[in-house]
């Protein structure tokens, strides 16, 4: 007996919904917007983003799951809830997918949308009609939007992805959107952390024919990965290139091998860094760091060549002059001892001058290396202080 009463109440409730739906649709024309002449229909917009799936620099796009909730009043759908039996009061009318094509819906669109997949078969669409005629319409979708990025401060950059909403066909004199609520659940991305969501001011809104709403999602890049993969290796290569200043100036082969290896490694590091980034026409912050580090290694290579040239200059300037004996000198030689004594003395003097000159040039080469060992770290340290202060502020 109790079960039959329960079933009858359920059937009564279902019949009430069926009768109400049929009555509301009698004479209803979904082609016309439910607005009062001279006053635009106000649609309250709520946005909820439960998950941001990825932020892709290569494709300049953002992929996320979003709830788009709209509220508006359609006076043609209002009804008197006291008309129905008290045993089955209807506080709201639940509308499913098969009735959506029979009532008027706002033609909202995302202007920077690239792709959209709705979850229609998994409860992704929900609509409630209240007695006052207030309609609540919710959509769950997976969307991919175009997100232009400025990578000049990469990897200490902050990116803003905008959700741009507007009507497709209705002018703002007929339909206007009002952002009532925006909610972003905690975002977990390996390279970015979510900062905030805020409504942006649309430029030249007065000149536009349709009402536009823009919601900015601000993300800050996590730079820890790039510090480990770019900055620390770059600085290590520069530090290793300074080992040439401790080597013998005459050991040109080993010095060149060391500096050249550092140069090739730096080129490989820079190429590897840009493989996952779009080919932009400007230099990024990481590019400046790698290029300046490359320049320090290149200057170390030039210093190596200069030091080697300085250390070997004595061999070119102090070569002994060959003693050519003319037939006249041989004929005019009267005393071999008188000639040979000054000759041996000149030979010893020339050898002494050669050794003295070689020592002076070797000493100059070592002085250049010692100065480089001090100046290079100071200049590179100054560059790092300026670089990190400029890009981290």
In the numeric block, the tokens 């977990």 are attached to: 188
Cα distances from 374 to residues 251, 277, 368, 371, 383, in angstroms, run 21, 37, 10, 5, 15
Confidence of residue 125 (pLDDT cuts 50, 70, 90): confident
- State residue 366's pLDDT score: 84
Q: DSSP assignment of 305-326, as one string?
A: HHHHHHHTHHHHH-PPPP----
Cα distances from 73 to residues 36, 77, 92, 129, 181, in angstroms, run 11, 8, 14, 9, 18
Kindly report the number of other CB atoms within 10 A of residue 350's CB atom.
14
Condensed to tens digits (0 to 9), the pLDDT of residues 272-288 reads 998 888 889 999 999 99
Question: Residue 121 gets which letter from DSSP?
Answer: G
**Alpha carbon distance 42, 40 (integer Å):** 6
Least confident interval from 151-155, 265-269, 345-349? 345-349
Cα distances from 175 to residues 42, 69, 76, 166, 221, in angstroms, run 6, 16, 17, 10, 38
**Residue 257 scores a pLDDT above 80:** yes
Of 297 and 37, the structure prediction assigns the larger pLDDT to: 297
Q: Which residues of 123-153 are buried (b: 16+ CB within 10 A; e: fewer)?
A: ebbbbebbbebbbbbbbbbbbbbbbebebeb
Q: DSSP assignment of 235-286, as one string?
A: HHHHHHHGGGGGS-TT-HHHHHHHHHHHHHHHHHHHHHHHTTS---SS--HH
Of 37 and 132, the structure prediction assigns the larger pLDDT to: 132
Confidence of residue 157 (pLDDT cuts 50, 70, 90): very high
Q: Domains of the chain, with CATH numbers?
A: 1-221 (2.70.170.10), 225-313+361-392 (1.20.58.390)
The residue among 106, 126, 105, 91 whose CA lies nearest residue 20 is 91
**Alpha carbon distance 11, 9 (integer Å):** 5
What length does the chain have? 393
- State residue 137's pLDDT score: 94
Once rounded to an integer, what is the mean pLDDT over residues 31-45?
Answer: 91
In the numeric block, the tokens 């390996």 are attached to: 190
**Residue 114 scores a pLDDT above 90:** yes
Condensed to tens digits (0 to 9), the pLDDT of residues 14-30 reads 777 788 888 888 889 99
Of 149 and 83, the structure prediction assigns the larger pLDDT to: 149
**Alpha carbon distance 226, 194 (integer Å):** 18
Question: Residue 173 gets which letter from DSSP?
Answer: T
Once rounded to an integer, what is the mean pLDDT over residues 193-209?
Answer: 77
3-state secondary structure (DSSP) of residue 117? strand
**Residue 243 scores a pLDDT above 90:** yes
The number of angstroms, rounded, from the C-alpha of 255 to the middle of its chain's C-alpha atoms is 38
- State residue 338's pLDDT score: 46
Rounded to the nearest integer, the mean pLDDT of the chain is: 83
Least confident interval from 253-262, 293-302, 303-312? 303-312
């Amino acid at each position: 007996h109790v079960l039959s009463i329960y079933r009858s109440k359920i059937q009564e409730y279902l019949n009430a919904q069926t009768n109400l739906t049929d009555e509301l649709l009698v004479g209803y024309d979904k082609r016309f917007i439910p607005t009062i002449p001279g006053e635009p229909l106000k649609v309250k917009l709520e946005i909820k983003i439960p998950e941001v799936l990825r932020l892709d620099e290569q494709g300049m796009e953002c992929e996320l799951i979003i709830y788009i909730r709209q509220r508006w009043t359609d006076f043609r759908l209002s009804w008197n809830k006291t008309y129905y039996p008290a045993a089955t009061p209807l506080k709201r009318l639940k509308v499913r997918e098969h009735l959506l094509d029979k009532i008027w819906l706002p033609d909202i669109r995302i202007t920077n949308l690239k792709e959209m997949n709705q979850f229609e078969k998994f409860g992704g669409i929900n609509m409630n009609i209240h007695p006052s005629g207030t309609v609540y319409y919710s959509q769950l979708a997976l969307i991919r939007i175009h997100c232009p990025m400025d990578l000049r401060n990469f990897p200490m950059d902050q990116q803003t992805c905008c959700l741009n909403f507007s009507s497709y066909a209705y002018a703002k004199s007929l339909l206007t959107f009002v952002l009532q609520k925006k909610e972003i659940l905690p975002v977990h991305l390996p390279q970015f952390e979510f900062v905030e969501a805020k409504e942006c001011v649309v430029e030249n809104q007065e000149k536009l024919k349709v009402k536009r709403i823009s919601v900015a999602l601000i993300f800050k890049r996590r730079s820890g990965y790039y510090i480990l993969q770019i900055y620390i290796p770059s600085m290590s290569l520069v530090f290793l290139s300074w080992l040439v200043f401790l080597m013998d100036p005459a050991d040109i082969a080993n010095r060149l091998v060391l500096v050249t290896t550092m140069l090739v490694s730096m080129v490989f590091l820079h190429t590897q860094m840009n493989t996952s980034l779009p080919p932009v026409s400007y230099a990024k912050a990481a590019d400046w760091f790698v290029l300046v580090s490359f320049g320090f290694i290149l200057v170390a290579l030039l210093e190596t060549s200069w030091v080697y040239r300085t250390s070997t200059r004595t061999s070119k300037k102090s070569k002994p002059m060959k003693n050519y004996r003319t037939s006249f000198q041989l004929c005019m030689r009267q005393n071999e001892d008188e000639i040979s004594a000054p000759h041996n003395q000149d030979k010893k003097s020339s050898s002494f001058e050669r050794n003295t000159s070689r020592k002076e040039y070797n000493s100059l080469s070592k002085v250049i290396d010692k100065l480089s060992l001090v100046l290079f770290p100071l200049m590179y340290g100054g560059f790092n202080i300026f670089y990190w202060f400029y890009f981290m502020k």
